[in-house]
Amino acid sequence: MMRKTLLGWLLAMVAGTSLADTLLIDGVEAAKQSESLRPTRGMSMTRVEAQFGAPSERRAAVGEPPITRWEYPGFTVVFEHEYVLHSIVRR
């Protein structure tokens, strides 16, 4: 009886690991593809606007250092001073 339980546990571990690895790899591939479709860290506001056009909404800077948000239809860009800190894809 104990042998069957151990075998079942091992099979569950292997199956779970394979599924998790596949999801992780798919997620990494999706992230790589979306990077080319959105601004990257360190880009200036001027370059972002030249490459992606005017944002649909500009949020005023808040805090110190000043953090500004620009909203685009598929993503949001967060700036610190005038440089991209993050760009977030919306689903």
Average pLDDT per 10 consecutive residues for the chain, totaling 91 residues: 57 57 56 69 96 96 96 96 94 76
Q: Is the pTM of this model over 0.75?
A: no
Q: Are residues 44 and 78 in the same domain?
A: yes
Residue-level pLDDT at 50: 96
Q: Are residues 47 and 72 in the same domain?
A: yes
Q: Are residues 90 and 46 in the same domain?
A: yes
Residue-level pLDDT at 21: 54
Q: Which of 79, 77, 49 is nearest to 65 (CA)?
A: 79
Q: Which two tokens stand for residue 2?
A: 């104990």
Query: At 34, which amino acid appears?
Result: S
Q: Are residues 69 and 31 in the same domain?
A: no
Q: Are residues 45 and 70 in the same domain?
A: yes
Q: Are residues 71 and 83 in the same domain?
A: yes
Residue-level pLDDT at 20: 54
Residue-level pLDDT at 81: 96
Residue 64, CA distances (Å) to 18, 60, 72, 80, 81 in order: 45, 13, 24, 9, 9
Q: Are residues 45 and 83 in the same domain?
A: yes
Q: Are residues 44 and 81 in the same domain?
A: yes
Residue-level pLDDT at 54: 97
Q: How many Å apart are CA 63 and CA 81, to the nearest integer? A: 10
Q: Are residues 51 and 31 in the same domain?
A: no
Residue-level pLDDT at 37: 85
Count of domains forming the chain:
2
User: 9 is in which domain, residue-wise?
Assistant: 1-36
